[in-house]
Chain A
Amino acid sequence: MLYFKGINPTIAMHLHLADYLVIFVYFLFVIAVGFIIKKRIKSSNDFLNSNRSIPLWITSLAFISANLGAQEVLGMVASGAKYGIMTVHFYWVGAIFAMVFLGVFMMPFYYGSKARSVPEYLSMRFDEKTRALNAITFAVMTVFSSGISLYALAKLLEVILHWNFDLCIWLAAGIVMVYTFLGGLTSAVYNEVLQFFLIVLGLSPLVIVALHDAGGWSSIQANLQPELTHAWKYMDKAENNPLGVNFMSLIFGLGFVMSFGYWCTDFLVVQRAMIAKNMSEAQRTPIIAAIPKMFMPLIVVLPGIIAIALMQSALQSKGYAIPLDDNGGINYTMTLPSLIAHYYPTGLLGVGITALIASFMSGMAGNVTAFNSVFTYDIYQSYFVKNKSDQHYLTVGKLITLFGILFSIGTAYVAASFNNINDFLQLVFSFVNGPLFATFLLGMFWKRTTGHGAFWGLMIGTLAAAATHGLTIAEGKGGWIAPMYEISSGMGQAFIVAAFSWIANFFSTIIVSLFTKPKPDEALRGLVYSLTEKVYAKETKWYLRAGPLALILLIITIALNIIFF
Chain B
Amino acid sequence: MGKKVQCELCPTECVLEDFQVGGCRVRINKGGVLYSLVYGKPCSVAIDPIEKKPFFHFLPATTAFSIATAGCVLGCKFCQNWQISQAKPEETDYYNLPPDDVVRQAMFYGCRTITYTYTEPTVFYEYMYDTAQIARKFNVKNTMHSCGYIKEKPLRELSKYLDAADIDLKAFTEDFYSRICGGRLRPVLDALLVLKDEGVWLEITNLVISTLNDKMDEIKEMCKWIVKNLGPNVPLHFSRFFPHYKLNNLPPTPFETLRDARNVAMDAGLKYVYIGNIRSDAENTCCPKCKNILIERIGYFVKQNNISEGRCRFCSTKIAGIWS
A, B: real partners: no
